[in-house]
Amino acid sequence: MIVGAQWGDEGKGKVTDLLAEQADAVIRFQGGNNAGHTIVRGTEEWKLHLVPSGILYPRKLCVIGNGVVLDPRVLIEEIDHLRARRVDVGSLKISANAHLIMPYHLLLDSAGEARLGKLQIGTTRRGIGPCYADKAARLGIRVQDLLDETILKKKITAALEPKRLSLRPFAKDPSLDLHAMTEEYVTYGHRLEQHIADTARTAWELLDQGRTVLFEGAQGAMLDIDHGTYPFVTSSNPVAGAACVGAGVGPRDIDEVWGVSKAYTTRVGAGPFPTEIHDELGDVLRQRGGEFGTTTGRARRVGWLDLVALRYAARLNTLTALTVTKLDVLSGLETIDVCVRYRGAEDAQFDHFPYHQSVLHHAVGETERLPGWEEDIGECRREADLPPAARDYLRFVAEFTGVPIALIGVGPGRDQVIWTEHGQRSRLGASPGAAGTERMPARPSGRAAA
């Protein structure tokens, strides 16, 4: 399983694409098109929002699980875009139980943010929160409902009823016309029908045959609705535990959980960010790291690596390995700060991620200063190629979090990675030719791994 270990945008798309080569299927299990996952192959760049990041391999089974909230208009656009670039999407499967983002969810998302004014969350305004709210209220419309016009219309009527008041300002919005909406969604149903399936069963069949299933998370632990910086979070659970619910498998089906973290930290939208850099260095890192949202184009807030939060994410997800991306962005800095504890109001110190929002909102990261390195590391392919200071930096991260590093990103390109010894050992079906590579022993059937 691959999960974000920070506030999203850690590079999950790239890591998923890399690992998918050896997997039999890739399953997205939560979130929606608030996600933006980037894959760079040669001179080509792909930005995926709903389609799993395994789609660039011909005939690789790619599943949108039941835990995803799906905007069918966006999915169809994404499919068309992929097709236009000659990507085969025939092996894309969509869970019949996934919930649909409806036009009123988009309106409610924007209206909710407008109402919050200065207190707004900074959502992606893609209707994610209102859709999950309807799911919990048992007023959701599911993918399977697209296949029956009568049921669809009844469900939309029921879903709209309790929203009358909040939707009143949009009364004249053409997208809210019941008949037009039903017709529009029936058309989406025709387009997507060939992809709709009982995807939990598909996952069981693969796992029971001992095949390899890769679970692709969206967002990150600190945006988790239960464990993140609530209310400045998304409306789903991006932590590893949610993959079981969102794909329909059990905890014993999972045997590797890899957390993706940048070598520094970014966050989009509002909310506490204890290691945020407020001076020009923040702008330098933002430019160098291209830290602008994949989905909304917003400038990402930038900060030092927050090891208090990362250790918290490691425990929440029971991470078996870390992937540290964008190490190249830190090249050329004389020194690099890493946050090892928080200091709160009245000089209180915290070694652990504080559960109380008032504490967290006042928390400032206390940093340790480590030496930087001058060299451009974009061409490094082995740990030994890295400057000693970069290796020391990574060692510090692994020791502090207690999680071994499997993979290091030294550039956006697919080949711009370094597999550590640990990574080579736990990488599935690692090519026998690669230096220091061992094949994983045959696994008992019915297990998943990254």
Residues that bind ligand GDP (CB under 6 A): 4, 8-14, 36-38, 40, 290, 294, 325-326, 328-329, 409-412
Q: Encoding tokens for residue 100?
A: 């649909």
The number of beta carbons lying within 10 Å of the beta carbon of residue 172 is 7
Q: 3, 9, 63, 271: which one contacts Mg ion (CB under 5 A)?
A: 9
410 binds, among Mg ion, ligand IMO, ligand GDP, none (CB under 5 to 8 A by kind): ligand GDP
Residue among 272 and 387 whose Cβ is closer to ligand IMO: 272
261 vs 416, which CB is nearer to ligand IMO?
261
| Binding-site partner at residue 40 among ligand GDP, ligand IMO, Mg ion, none, CB < 5 to 8 Å by type | ligand GDP
Can you list the positions of beta strands (E) in 388-431? Answer: 405-409, 417-419
Phi/psi zone of residue 402: left (φ > 0), alpha (ψ -120 to 50 degrees), beta?
A: left
Query: Residue type for 113, please?
Result: E
Stretch of residues binding Mg ion (CB under 5 A), selected from 44-52, 127-135, 185-193, 291-299:
291-299
| CB neighbour list of residue 218: distance below 8 Å, 6 or more residues apart | 4, 8, 12, 28, 30, 31, 32, 34, 35, 37, 236, 238
Shortest distance in whole angstroms from residue 246 CB to ligand GDP: 17
Stretch that binds Mg ion, among 188-196, 290-298, 310-318, 437-445 (CB under 5 A): 290-298
Q: Which of 325, 347, 297, 292 is nearest to 397 (CA)?
A: 325
Nearer to ligand IMO, 269 or 344 (CB): 269
Distance linking the first and last C-alpha atoms of the chain: 5
Q: Which of 66, 95, 97, 123 lies at the binding interface for ligand IMO (CB under 6 A)?
A: 123
Q: How far apart are CA 156 and CA 103, in angstroms?
A: 11
DSSP assignment of 163-221 equals GHHHHGGGTT-GGG-HHHHHHHHHHHHHHHGGGEE-HHHHHHHHHHTT--EEEE--S-G
Tell me the two tokens of residue 74: 């966006």
Cβ-closest position to ligand IMO: 269
Nearer to ligand IMO, 259 or 269 (CB): 269
Q: With binding defined as CB under 6 A, does residue 313 bind ligand IMO?
A: no
Give the other-Cβ count within 10 Å of 121's Cβ: 18
The residue type of 423 is G
Q: Select 33 or 182, whichever has its Cβ closest to ligand GDP.
A: 33
Q: How far is the CB of 313 from ligand GDP (least distance, A)?
A: 13
37 is catalytic: yes
Please, what is the minimum distance in Å from the beta carbon of residue 266 to ligand IMO? 8
CB 118 within 8 A of CB 97: no
Q: How far is the CB of 329 from ligand GDP (least distance, A)?
A: 5
Measured from the CB of residue 262, what is the shortest distance to Mg ion in angstroms? 11
Is 122 a binding residue for ligand IMO by CB under 6 A? The answer is yes
Q: Strands 265-267, 301-303: parallel, antiparallel or unpaired by DSSP?
A: antiparallel
Taking CB within 5 to 8 Å according to partner kind, which of ligand GDP, ligand IMO, Mg ion, none is near residue 122?
ligand IMO
Task: State which residue, 70 or 268, has the beta carbon closest to ligand IMO.
Answer: 268
Helices within 54-127 (DSSP H only):
72-84, 103-116
Number of H helices, E strands in the chain: 14, 20
Interface with ligand IMO: number of residues (CB under 6 A): 25
Nearer to ligand GDP, 134 or 216 (CB): 216
**Considering 17, 37, 195, 337, which one is annotated as catalytic?**
37
Q: How far is the CB of 313 from ligand IMO (least distance, A)?
A: 13
d(CA 443, CA 2): 19
Residue 17 known to be catalytic? no
Interface residues toward ligand IMO, by CB under 6 A: 4, 7-9, 31, 34-37, 121-124, 126, 128-129, 218-220, 223, 234-235, 268-269, 294
Interface residues toward Mg ion, by CB under 5 A: 9, 36, 294
Catalytic residues: 9, 37
